[in-house]
Structure 1
Amino acid sequence: MRLIYRIAFRLALFLLPLMAAWAALFYFKTVDDVNDETDDALDLFTELVIERVLSGRELPPNDGTNIMYDIIPVGEQFVQDYPSIRYYYSEQYFPLIGYEPSRILTTVFMTDDGKYYLLKTYTPTIDKQELMHTTLVWIVMLYVLLLITVMIVTMLVFYRNIRPLYRLLGWLDRLKIGGGNPPLDNPTDITEFRKLNAAAEKALNRYQEAFEAQKEFIGNASHELQTPLAVIGNRVEWLIDNTELSQKQTEELLGIQRTLGSVVKLNRTLLMLTKIDNGQFPEKTRISIPKVVLESVEIFSEIYEDKGLDVDFRAPAVNLEVEMNESLASALVNNLLKNAFIYTPAQGRICVRIYERTLEISNTGRKPLDAEHIFERFYKSGGREGALGLGLAIVGAIQRYCGLEVRYAFGEGMHRFSVHWPKKVSEF
């Protein structure tokens, strides 16, 4: 989730209980104020009616235009049980407007002749349900309006102040380790961003230095190993060709020669794995996957012709082309195909299919491989003599470096490796 969306989400969560609390406070305060005003009016009107009853003067009009009243004779028992003054809500009938929610005041008083009366005064007041509904509607509208306003202001302020961070992120996205990188041009007067800029440049410089040192070390180590190995190999070959040796001595020298060949191959393979892991294949070009596959199939078919394999290669009508390092593309295809040709039993079958964005290689097999470990270094499944267990490790390293999807499955007596180039990462 992007930072601005997280901020917006948390602001919305913060505003929601705040607006709910404000709505409740507004509602109860409004009802309380209306009650106070209404009760004051009822008190004054009640005093007026009682005063006129006791003085024998004409009573106020009771025509339903504002405050209405009823005078009801009551007995002493009622006076003892009923509170002398009581406020409450109830619906009352008004001649001009019908039944309406009303605020009611009941008061018990006694006349000079000792008779008790219940004076009931009432007036129309606000409908609490309607007030609650109206308040809720307007609060929701206010919440939405306030939220939109806050979001717009927040985003404007956020993007204006966070611009140096996005410039830094853009610069980091364009970095190429081992390649020429432009200097960071990100002027800002914000202290935190200035520190972040300095830390990013410092980290890049350290990484570049470590990368160059490691690259130089790998190159030197490879050269220093290859040279003596080549010399030893040449001397062993000279001994075999130019000296009189017994059969046992010849067999020993041939064994040494095979071992040296394995060491040379191991050195080259480990060197390539290290280069892939260190991202030392930045060069990219437009690669035709069917063309690379066809060339490799022809080479391996000729090499393993004596096994009598049935090789079925079908390319799509639409060419699969990707932006990818040429060496990595060749290594990926060659290692998968070589694995298939080597481990397919004689008279077995190899199927190569290329779909829209997928390369699939299947070959005859006896039992499934360990899908969790086949792409690990030095994993060996068949125990073939001279196997290093690094072919599929190279495939796994290329998969991680290029962001590909490489899958393994086993079914119907066939091993199946598939390589998929997702569109978003097909430009490697």
Structure 2
Amino acid sequence: MKLFHLVMWRVSALLVAILTVWAVFFYWAIIEEVNDETDDSLGDYAETLIIRWLSGEEMPSKNSGSNNQYYLYEVSEEYARSYPHITYRDETVYIEEKKETEPARVLMTIFQTDDGRYMELVVYAPTIEKLDLRRALLGWIIFLYVLLLLAILAVNAWVFQRNMKPLYRLLGWLDKYRLGGKNEPLTNDTPVSEFRKLNDAAVVFTERSEKVYEQQKLFIGNASHEMQTPLAISLNRLEMLMEDDTLTEKQLSELAKTHQTLESLTRMNRSLLLLCKIENHQFSDEKEICLNKLFRTYLDDYQEVYAYRHIRVEVTEAATFRVTMSESLASVLVANLLKNAFVHADEGGEITVSFTAASFEISNTGEHPLDDKRIFERFYQGSKKEGSTGLGLALVDSVCKASHLSVTYRYADGRHVFTVSRS
């Protein structure tokens, strides 16, 4: 989830909760205010009626034209003592003048006359229809909710996007940054101190990574280069020693195994040196190359070498696949893909190569799929094969990246399929 969406979601949830609580308090505050005003009016009216009754004045008609009504009757002392002196409640009463029922606020009070009698006075005053009020308030609150929520979210979105631009610029620069490549300098001026510190930290981190990366490449290149000479000398001495007629068969067998190990180490060393050169962009002799023709050249050589395995090869050329790249890198690409196919194909299996104008595909039969997430890692070997160093497909991947190509792997219908296309 993006930071913007997370912030908006949390702000929305918080606003809904706050506005809901506010709406409940707002509704009850209005109802309490209406009841308070009505109760004061009822209290004044009841006090006037009691005074007139106690003073012996003529009581007003029960309906004075104001929709207020009252009832006055005598009650027992036990009843008077068992009920509160004054109470208020909501009721629905019948208004004789209007011939209909309406909601009303009711005041009930009990007072004692001079001669010791107890009188109960019930006063009714029409009030607002609270159900209608609730509906009206709910409608307006929902309308105001939506309007206020949208306005607040819009303001928050504008403020967020405006203030978080330095962060998004930094993220965009980091997305485009490629270790060891030609990267543009970070230009992200901002008055916010936290963003400035973040920019500085990112620049320091990338500079440190570049330094370590260059040191690593230099070490690998130097180490691989320096190892070539002693390896070649060791191989020559072993070959000379193996020509000695006085050696026993067991000694020759051990020397042959040692010679094979040194050859494998030499191939691995050459591959590491080649990887280092590719990553250092030391192949700049680019020209247009026809990969169809290059494949046919190498295919004849590999068929002769692996003829004992009885592998069938089928080539389909729907079009010519031409690319602009270093001829040396093209040879590395083709040779390693073909070698990988021959080495990992089943005994008596089949290799298929097909070309289009935008890509080529090479596949070989195989029983088990490889890990498509690790297939192009250095030294990864799904199953150890003779003559494999674990660097062939890593070289293929590096050559494709350096030549603006892409390589993909999939396992389908019992075949390992590698596809090379333009990026």
TM-score normalised by length of structure 1: 0.74
The 5 A counterparts of 1:268-417 are 268-271=270-273, 300-301=302-303, 303-312=305-314, 338-350=339-351, 361-365=363-367, 368=368, 375=375, 384-391=385-392, 406=409, 414=414, 416-417=415-416
The corresponding residue for 1:123 is 125
**Corresponding residue SS for 1:197:** helix
State the 1:28 CA deviation.
1.8
The corresponding residue for 2:141 is 139
State the 1:224 CA deviation.
0.5
- Contact 1:290/1:315 (<8 A) preserved: no
**Corresponding residue SS for 1:185:** coil
Larger deviation, residues 322-331 vs 260-269: 322-331
Larger deviation, residues 263-272 vs 23-32: 263-272
- Contact 2:91/2:104 (<8 A) preserved: yes
State the 1:286 CA deviation.
12
Which amino acid is the alignment partner of residue 3 of structure 1? Answer: L
Distance in structure 2 (CA, Å) of the matches to 1:301 and 1:179: 38
Change (3 A) 1:202 1:380: closer
The corresponding residue for 1:19 is 19
Query: What is the root-mean-square deviation of aligned Cα atoms in Å?
Result: 4.8
Deviation readout 1:286-336 (Å, 9 max, x if unpaired): 99999599657666445434433234566789x999999999998777656
Q: % of aligned pairs identical? A: 39
The corresponding residue for 1:189 is 191
The corresponding residue for 1:57 is 58
Distance in structure 1 (CA, Å) of the matches to 2:343 and 2:184: 47
Runs (5+) with no aligned partner, structure 2: none
State the 1:220 CA deviation.
0.9
**Corresponding residue SS for 1:172:** helix
The 5 A counterparts of 1:44-193 are 44-54=44-54, 55-60=56-61, 62=63, 65-94=66-95, 95-96=97-98, 98-109=100-111, 116-193=118-195
- Contact 2:408/2:419 (<8 A) preserved: yes
**Corresponding residue SS for 2:89:** strand
- Contact 2:309/2:348 (<8 A) preserved: yes
The corresponding residue for 1:204 is 206
Larger deviation, residues 343-352 vs 216-225: 343-352
Which amino acid is the alignment partner of residue 35 of structure 2? Answer: N
Distance in structure 2 (CA, Å) of the matches to 1:300 and 1:97: 110
State the 1:238 CA deviation.
6.5
TM-score normalised by length of structure 2: 0.75
**Corresponding residue SS for 1:347:** coil
Which amino acid is the alignment partner of residue 40 of structure 1? Answer: D
Aligned residues: 413
Deviation readout 1:230-289 (Å, 9 max, x if unpaired): 34445555677xx7745758766655543332111122344567789xx66799999999
Change (3 A) 1:362 1:256: closer
- Contact 1:65/1:96 (<8 A) preserved: no
Change (3 A) 1:208 1:382: closer
Deviation readout 1:20-56 (Å, 9 max, x if unpaired): 2211221222121111111000011112223333423
